[in-house]
Amino acid sequence: MAFAIRQDTIYAHQRYTSFYELELAGFLDDLPFYRRHLPPPPARLLELGCGTGRLGLALAKEGYRLVGVDLSLAMLREAAARRPATRRTWPAYLCMDMTRLAFRAPFDAITIPYNTLNLLTEPGAVARCLAEARALLSPGGRLLLQLFVPNRHHLALTDRKQFQFRIFDCPDGAKVIKEILKWRAADGHCFHLRETYRLRFRPGLANEDWRYDYRILGHPFGRWQELLAEAGFGIAVAAGDYHLTPFVDGEHSTLLIAAQAR
């Protein structure tokens, strides 16, 4: 059976949430970056695009008062289920558009992890999100985010496509084969991604193929600098990997930014 899901609905889909959990539930390679640049606990934190809570829960365990925001109710339900019964207050989870935030009390820091900001491909959406974040920060508050920035290999994808795949083992013994096809959009500002998940070897159940098509922003480092500056942020740190190596434009495709509200 084959299923195709549109960009505007994939993050609300329960099946996508299960694939997301299978791939990222134990991923915390980015945690040292946030630990290094966040104010000490019990600072009040806002996480935009919290997903199933993998990062926020780790920070809440360290004493942070964290509020996680996501548009996907399926993701938020999974995040709430992962929260220990002894932690009834933090992290708190809310279903909210990250370009239309509704909070009264300020936050000491805001995180936008794992390329979430790249998903805001509509014109002006990134600027609105950053302006909302700036308005919600306490004086001197910090913004920490991870971005995808195309390196020289990605920029060469105008006339060809990049293919990758991974295989995951499911708890029931089945396997998920994830195929990723990436190519550069004609306008040069975005990249197209087609993710195909193939469920195989499930006793008594039919195979399934799920396909998700979406786009991500492909802004260069200089454009992200401009957007942050326009929203009232100054970049204090720009790292190119989880080892916190200084970012090199054209070489790195991961960009970890620690910015300060001005």
pLDDT of residue 16: 85
pLDDT of residue 145: 98
In whole angstroms, what is the distance from residue 225 CA to residue 242 CA?
20
Q: Could you read off the pLDDT of 73-119 as tens digits, one per residue?
A: 999 999 999 887 765 668 999 999 999 999 999 999 999 999 999 99
Domains of the chain are 10-150+218-261 (3.40.50.150), 152-217 (2.20.25)
247 near 157, Cβ under 8 Å? no
Q: Distance of CA 204 to CAs 119, 167, 174, 176, 199, Å?
A: 37, 21, 11, 16, 13
pLDDT of residue 138: 94
Q: Does the pLDDT at position 6 exceed 70?
A: no
Q: Could you read off the pLDDT of 129-179 as tens digits, one per residue?
A: 999 999 999 999 999 999 999 999 998 887 789 999 999 998 888 999 999
Q: What is the pTM of this model?
A: 0.92
pLDDT of residue 187: 81
